[in-house]
Amino acid sequence: MSDAPVDPAPLPLEPLVPRSSFLTLLEHRSLLPSWPGIKPDDLEIPEGTTVLALRYADGVVMAGDRRATAGNVIAHKRVKKVFPADRYSAVAISGTAGMAVELIKLFQTELEHYEKIEGTRLSLEGKANYLARMVRGNLAMAFQGLVVVPLFCGYDEAERVGRLYTFDVVGGRYEEQDYATTGSGGSEARSFLKGAYADDVDEDEALRLAIEALVAAAEEDAATGGPDIRRGIFPNVVTVTSSGFTEVGDDRIAEIAGRVLEARP
Amino acid sequence: MSMPFYVPPEQLVKDRADFARRGIARGRSMVAFEYADGVLLMGENPNGSLHKLGEIYDRIAFAGVGRFNEFETLRVAGIRYADLKGYSYGRSDVTAKGLANAYSQTLGQIFTHEVKPYEVEVIVAEIGPTSDETQLYRIQFDGTLLAEQRYAAIGGKDDELAEKLEEAFETNLDLAGAIAASASAIEAVEEREIDADEWEAAVLDRSMDRRMFRRLEPGEIAGARS
């Protein structure tokens, strides 16, 4: 960030700055976050993940493991990778952790900023498109090896269904039908879900599917951490339904994770 | 070339203040009224889509009277200020006091430097975890910043309205009581009755999660007054 003051007095009224975008405001004030001159070869930046989302009867469930790795070192054991984007959507991150967290914070602020200024929320598709634009804005860093790929899901208030979106490094945005995964253990989780997924399951079954997919990924991918019952480290699991974003409590996850681990072949 | 006339500064300020006051008096009043769970903001606004009340941040709300485009500019600037500050530092660093000060600076600057002063008056309200920490600020067209207690009124008949609110105020009123008291005070000053769907009302409600601003439906207002 530059040295432009965040809190100038008097308040700049800026009638000519486009109204509802927070990102544009940051650009205008030269406050956009940037990581100039990073060469990832020189340093170990935490990355590695499995995050996934799937549709069920009431909406969507999204889950992510808690491990961050830097090279072959486990850098953090309790990282949070699944976040609320706004009241009716959730976003999860994979890739270079520091940049991904900043991306999420910007995205959350952008959605809230838009909602307050316009007095109405963006459509779910509008939010997904906006996130795609933010990923695309990061393209120069991606070419240096600092990749950030989010996963986005939410409850479409107009259509009254849950929706899932995946992204690629260049900002491509793809709507997925039943389930979506990303991160280093994503393909393992995907192959589990391919066999186990069923339409219109209830919440308990959806949570079990999500947690078991993470367990399956953790078994094969060193950069994905499984549930650690002894230390009390459990995946972040959230649901988004017609009543909005809800974080599933650790107690409930612990109970399901216990059952899943018991039953694993 | 014409010679510029000498205008004494007293006269200049008085003319500008009269001009702004006349503009504000043409519009409808707004009130902020403390109740058990937070602060009620309320006023007559028959136009349902052009809001005079708005959410600024988690615990902070805005109300404006006067020229719509002018207080709308202030509202947007306030949201920008709050989001920028919360994003750069932390969510708890965004305060009504900081925002009220910034509004005061801006309106003061406009009053003396611009071709015409803003014909607006605004309220910035913030709630804390308990009612002792509720803050109400009123900022006038010339940048005068007033810290109010329990209730605040802005608009043409603000003094009269404040008197009515003083009579009606009780500590720990519930929401319905606060709606009834505020609505009756405004109706008494306007000397006419106002339909339930012609009000605009919102609350900052302590019992809600992070974002505590909520607009009230016409049904809630009608229910509170029946």
**Domain total in chain A:** 1
CATH label of the domain that carries residue A190: 3.60.20.10
pLDDT band at A48, cuts 50/70/90? confident
Q: What percent of chain B has pLDDT over 70?
A: 100
Q: Looking at per-residue confidence, does A44 or B117 come out higher?
A: B117
Where are the extended beta strands (E) located within A77-221? 82-86, 89-95, 148-156, 161-167, 173-176, 179-182
Q: Is residue A57 part of a domain?
A: yes
Q: Looking at per-residue confidence, does A16 or B90 come out higher?
A: B90
Q: Is residue A22 part of a domain?
A: no
pLDDT over 70 (residue A46):
no
Please tell me which of the candidates B87, B88, B106 has its beta carbon nearest to residue A13. B106
Q: Is residue A112 part of a domain?
A: yes
Q: Could you give the residue numbers annotated as active site of A? A: 49
Q: Is residue A190 part of a domain?
A: yes
Domains and CATH numbers, chain B: 30-225 (3.60.20.10)
Chain A hits for B208, CB-CB cut-off 8 Å, are none
Q: Is residue A13 part of a domain?
A: no
Query: A118 to chain B: nearest residue by CA?
Result: B76
* Planar angle of CA A160, B213, B33, nearest 5 degrees: 145
pLDDT value at residue A111: 96
pLDDT band at A1, cuts 50/70/90? very low
Chain A hits for B211, CB-CB cut-off 8 Å, are 112
Q: Is residue A32 part of a domain?
A: no
- Residue B73 contacts A, CB cutoff 8 Å: yes
Nearest partner of B203 among B22, B31, B44, B50, judged by Cα: B31
With 0-12 CB in 10 A as exposed, 13-18 as middle and 19+ as buried, what is A2? exposed
For tokens 């932390």, the residue is B90
Assessment of whether the complete model's pTM goes beyond 0.90: no
Q: Is residue A141 part of a domain?
A: yes
Q: Domain span at residue A170?
A: 44-263
Q: Token pair for residue A175?
A: 């709507």
Please tell me which of the candidates A10, A14, A109 has its beta carbon nearest to residue B102. A10
Q: What is the ipTM of this complex?
A: 0.85
Q: Is residue A19 part of a domain?
A: no
- Residue B164 contacts A, CB cutoff 8 Å: no
- Residue B74 contacts A, CB cutoff 8 Å: yes
Q: Looking at per-residue confidence, does A244 or B225 come out higher?
A: A244
Interchain contact, A11 vs B105, CB within 8 Å: yes
Query: A30 to chain B: nearest residue by CA?
Result: B84
Which residue of A116, A120, A245, A246 to mutate against B (max B Cβ within 10 Å)? Answer: A116
Question: Phi and psi dihedrals of B135, rounded to 5?
Answer: -125, 135
Please tell me which of the candidates B51, B73, B101 has its beta carbon nearest to residue A9. B101
Please tell me which of the candidates B83, B87, B105 has its beta carbon nearest to residue A10. B105
Interchain contact, B83 vs A112, CB within 8 Å: yes
Chain B hits for A13, CB-CB cut-off 8 Å, are 73-74, 77, 106
What are the tens digits of pLDDT across the range B79-128? 999 999 999 899 999 999 999 999 999 999 999 999 999 999 999 999 99
The two most distant CA atoms of chain A are separated, in Å, by 65
Inter-residue contact B29 to B155 (CB < 8 Å): yes
- Give CA separation, A156 vs A61, A133, B49, B80, in Å: 14, 20, 23, 27
Q: What percent of chain A has pLDDT over 90?
A: 61
B170: left (phi over 0), alpha (psi -120 to 50) or beta: beta
pLDDT over 70 (residue A42):
no
Nearest partner of A247 among A56, A77, A81, judged by Cα: A81
Q: Token pair for residue A127?
A: 């939010």
Q: Looking at per-residue confidence, does A109 or A71 come out higher?
A: A109
- Residue B131 contacts A, CB cutoff 8 Å: no
What are the tens digits of pLDDT across the range A155-202? 999 999 999 999 988 889 999 999 999 998 999 999 999 999 998 899
